[in-house]
Chain A
Amino acid sequence: MKELVIVSGKGGTGKTSISGALAFLSPQKVMVDCDVDAANFHLISSAVIKHTHEFKAGFEPHIDEEACTHCATCTDLCRFGAITAGVINTPLNCEGCGVCAFNCPEHAITMQEKEAGQWFVSDTRFGQLIHAELGLAIENSGKLVSKVRQEAKKIATTNHFPLIITDGPPGIGCPAIAALSGASLALAVVEPSLSSMHDLERLVELVYHFNLPIMVCINKSTLHKENTKQIIDWCNSKAIPIAGKLPYSDAFRTAVQSGKTVMEITDENVKEQMTKLWHNLAKRLDVPAQLSGIGLLRQKLNLF
């Protein structure tokens, strides 16, 4: 079973649009939305939540007010300015380290597991989707990312699906690291703007840091032809294969507005280039690009 993780560095380059189109094109897969603090994939896949799960991560202090003598030992020891003499005056500052609890002379503080969000298993037009919503202002987004990927692997294994398509988060911090770890292939989506090209360089350095195979897709390639050429030259110099080039098109916006993927909107050029991208990825991943004859028959008979 292989996992394709779609990342970008810079936000807004088109990860989710491309993930959606690939989900449309690929025959047997599970989808994961790893952008857990701003998840969008469900909006273009007609997702219907079937199962909701609580996600607990990290800890938070609970104070026994009767035992607390307001000695303020915790005030001095807390490095994050979250607690003052037994009162958690700034909960948003608390990192859940437990120093207050472990060092309170009266043992008045206990650390309890924190509710950090929810994750969902949904049915969509393309198959099953695992996605999540991180709680407000929560840390540990990396953990929730790891969780949804794990659950997707379980479902893919049970159903004998050869592929997991993972819509990744922006950036290069812990959510992106958690989304990439152990991936079969990273697809970096870049647009021909200085910002995106700069961010691609940092992303590629991160991917190398973790020793992962990578391919690049240039989205909105017709927006700036010189920059597109520069990206191609740069990728060639680094021996990074370019899996696809997608033209700038209003079809992307139209698709999102109507809750669809670009494969369902009439722009034949975009559809053709997206199909090429999919075939290149399927080849690299060594997964079937379309259903075999028997597979098609099984699908028609609604068997999995």
Chain B
Amino acid sequence: MLISIASGKGGTGKTTLALLLAAAEPDITLIDCDVEEPNCHLFLKPEWHGQGKEITVMVPRINSNLCNGCSACSVVCLFNAIAISGGKALLFDELCHSCGGCILACQYGAIKEEKKPIGTITTGTSPILPNIHLLNGTLHIGTPSSVPLIKAIKQEVSDLKVDMLLDCPPGTSCSMVTAVKNSDFCILVTEPTPFGKHDLELAMNITRLLHMPTGVVINKNDEATGDKSIESLCQSRDIPVLAKIPHSLSFAKQYAAGFIPDEFKSIAINIWKQLHAERREEA
């Protein structure tokens, strides 16, 4: 079962929940898909297996000797990644989406493809929590899009027949969608503030678009405020609230120091019960 953990708003506790859930299962693969800012490894302090795998995308290389500046490639590039300057085609690979359109358009064989590194995938085992197998994606600084790296990570794990947790990037645009797509269940983590609620709704719109079974975890909850607006939102969307994790300053301090304490283990076990029941229902 592939369970993605996403949010909409940043900082609600995706990584925290991912680690809590991972700690509570006997044998689990945890995938850190927040490739711009991966954090799981800071808490797990894993022993890495080797140097990892370099992930590349194909980008065009223009042979200026064969190029006559006819601009056929520039015309078909809808990402404006090719400009004609000095009578030759000039590539801006940071804008390139690797679609191959320019190669198809060139009548003079002046464009070939070559690999460009965008990030790495590393795997490791945590000495602190040996039941967790960590797969971590890190984007090279300056690479604009995390989408190809996230796709590569999903591809790496597509054949695995084990239970997996996917720590997703924040937001609701292309990188979050790429991470959440094709998972079996999506847990949306929110906080009971107007920011949390606003962004939760946007994230719910995404999971609805993906026809993805969804559940919500309310983190940093404070029963004293009596704010039930998130619960009402979930009810109106027919999405279950899987858990409410209380706001805890002691937990926050431990988290700041890089530890996930046992404080909420029973909540994590309870979430797993609901997820396993969900799996039995689907089967």
Contacts and interface: CB of A to CB of B under 8 A. Distances in A.
Interface of A: 9-13, 16, 35-38, 40, 43-44, 58-59, 77, 79-80, 92, 95-99, 102-103, 111, 134, 136-139, 141-142, 169-175, 177, 191-195, 198-199, 202, 205-206, 209, 223-224, 226-227, 253, 256-257, 259
A102 B105 CA distance: 8
Best-buried of B10, B76, B100 by chain A (most CB within 10 Å): B10
15 contacts: A9-B37, A36-B173, A38-B171, A38-B198, A38-B199, A40-B194, A92-B181, A102-B105, A111-B78, A136-B172, A136-B206, A170-B10, A194-B42, A198-B42, A227-B257
A7 to B, nearest CB: 12
B100 A223 contact: no
A171 B37 contact: yes
Contacts, number: 172
Given A134-B173, A194-B258, A103 B104 contact: yes
B175 interface: yes
Given A137-B177, A256-B194, A172 B37 contact: yes
B273 interface: no
Contacts of B15: 195
A224 B171 contact: no
B193 A256 contact: yes
B42 A137 contact: no
Given A37-B171, A58-B78, A97 B99 contact: yes
Across the A-B interface, give the 3 residue pairs with the lowest CB-CB distance, nearest first: A12-B11, A11-B10, A97-B99
Contacts of B11: 10-13, 170
Interface string B114-128: 000000000000000
A79 B105 CA distance: 16
Interface in B119-156: 139, 141-147
A194 B255 CA distance: 8
Contacts of B255: 193, 195
A134 B10 CA distance: 16
B141 A172 contact: yes
A224 B252 CA distance: 9
A137 B227 CA distance: 29
A169 B255 CA distance: 23
B266 to A, nearest CB: 24
Contacts of B139: 172-173
Interface of B: 8-12, 15, 36-37, 39, 42-43, 76, 78-79, 97-101, 104-105, 139, 141-147, 169-175, 177, 181, 193-195, 198-199, 202, 205-206, 209-210, 225, 227, 252-253, 255-258
Given A38-B9, A172-B141, A195-B255, 11 more contacts: A9-B37, A35-B171, A37-B172, A136-B206, A137-B174, A139-B147, A170-B11, A172-B37, A174-B145, A192-B256, A209-B142
B170 A170 contact: yes
A223 B256 contact: yes
Contact of A202 (B12, B43, B141, B144): B141
Contacts of A141: 171, 173-174
B8 to A, nearest CB: 5
Nearest to B202: A38
A137 B209 contact: yes
A40 B104 contact: no
A274 to B, nearest CB: 18
Contacts of B39: 10, 194-195, 198-199
A92 B210 contact: yes
Contacts of B252: 223
Contact of B146 (A173, A192, A224): A173
A122 B39 CA distance: 36
Contacts of A9: 37
B103 to A, nearest CB: 10
A130 to B, nearest CB: 18
Contacts of A59: 78
